Amino acid sequence: MTLSDRKRAGWLLGLFYLAYFALLGVYVIFLPKMLVQSGYSASQVGMIFAASPLMRFLLPFLFRRLGSVERLHYLGALILAFLSALLFFATLHSFTAFFLANLLYGAAMGIVLPYVDTIALQIISKERYGRVRLWGSIGFMAIALWLGRVLETPLQSLVYLAVLALATLLTGWLLARYDRSEHKAGTSHPGNAASFSLRRYWAFWLSAFLLQVSFGGFYNFFTIYETAHGISLEMTSWLWSFGVLCEIAMLFWQGPLLKNRELLSLIEFAVATTVLRWMILWLWPDSLAAAFAAQSLHAFNFALYYTAAIAYVFELYTQKKLAQQFFLGMTFGLGGSIGAVLAGWIYEWDPDQLFLFEALVALAAWGAIRIHRRRKEHNAPAR
């Protein structure tokens, strides 16, 4: 690939991440409120938003049986994501139909992002990945700030969802031309996928799963937790935005870290800062300064961790698209679902202990990644 082709691919990747994560922002920030305004109960909303993570978890096991994730699967997933967004209009007033539409949507989105991440790591260095991926953070924050000001009716969020799904379809379709991995000998053979093993690196996968479980309290209860301790809703929204700004800064400047440091060491550090983050929120729940300090760590335990982890998985396995699918499924899929449920139980039992629980889970994730390092150093298993 020529230098000009790489530059064009880099810009196209940035546009894709911008559209994809803006689409994600509409889905996770505004769709729940729209459903409540449309008459859904809290339990129904919870079930609907468990559908997409569930599909992200199950899909990798399906593709492990079928073989590798091919270009045809990816293009079909892009189309399905857009059609599912259109189905939301027709199924909104039927819980069962809307739940099924969300299953389709979750299946499609669970294929698209790991595939594009693999393309990105093929054509740009892991040092430059963060600067391209930060456009996703910008898209997420921009759509949150924009819709927070202009959104008036529930159906408006579905319109934005459909438009952004179309933008994701168009940019993602153009990116398919830059994928070269499926032309390599052996990558599409089902037996090759069958050789993919979670058990071989079980401690790494356990750590990734537990880390995302520890985020369950943050993603689902951070706003409730802070406002219950006297911090205003407006200031809490600034706390969210500050975390995303720190994430963007890390994605922009993390290149030298990824180039000069071992990926596994960066992952260990990022997990350790997650323990510190949840401890700060537990120890000083009423302190605005402590909350901002905790949010600043988002740069490490999301931005740095995510980039280092997907780059590490890319190096660890030969079945690269399948490995990225498993990473998404085990973390934001299974980990996100279980983390949300556990956080809800803990918050009902004793709200003040929520982030102590999350810190202990993150500490377990750090212990698991340390076990993975020792096993890898002593056993040096083959791919």
Walk along the chain (383 residues) and give the pLDDT tens digit of each residue.
Answer: 666 777 888 899 999 999 999 998 888 777 877 887 788 876 677 778 778 888 888 887 777 666 566 888 899 999 999 999 999 999 999 999 999 999 999 889 988 988 998 888 888 876 778 788 889 989 988 887 788 778 777 788 899 999 999 999 999 999 998 887 654 433 444 444 445 778 889 999 999 999 999 998 888 778 778 888 998 877 877 888 898 899 889 988 888 888 767 899 999 999 999 999 999 999 999 999 999 999 999 999 999 999 999 899 988 888 887 888 889 888 988 898 888 778 888 887 888 999 999 999 999 999 999 999 998 887 764 44
What H or E segment, with its residue span, contains residue 56? helix 42-66
Cα–Cα distance for residue pair 239/241, rounded to 1 Å = 5
- Phi and psi angles of residue 261, each rounded to the nearest 5 degrees, phi first: -115, 150
Amino acid at 42: A
User: Amino acid identity, residue 257?
Assistant: L
pLDDT at 181: 64
Angstrom CA distances, 15 to 40, 116, 128, 138, 353, stand at: 34, 12, 15, 11, 41
Max CA separation in the chain (angstroms): 60
- Which distant-in-sequence residues (6+ apart) come within 8 Å of 357 by Cβ? 217, 342, 343, 346
Does domain 196-383 fall under CATH 3.40.50.720? My reply is no
In the block, tokens 């994430």 appear at 247
pTM here?
0.74
Q: Rounded distance, CA 134 to CA 251, Å? A: 6
CATH number of the domain at 1-191, please? 1.20.1250.20
What was the pLDDT predicted at 185?
A: 37
Dihedral sign for Cα atoms in the order 96, 98, 104, 109: negative
**Domain boundaries along the sequence of the chain:** 1-191, 196-383
1-191 and 196-383: identical CATH topology: yes
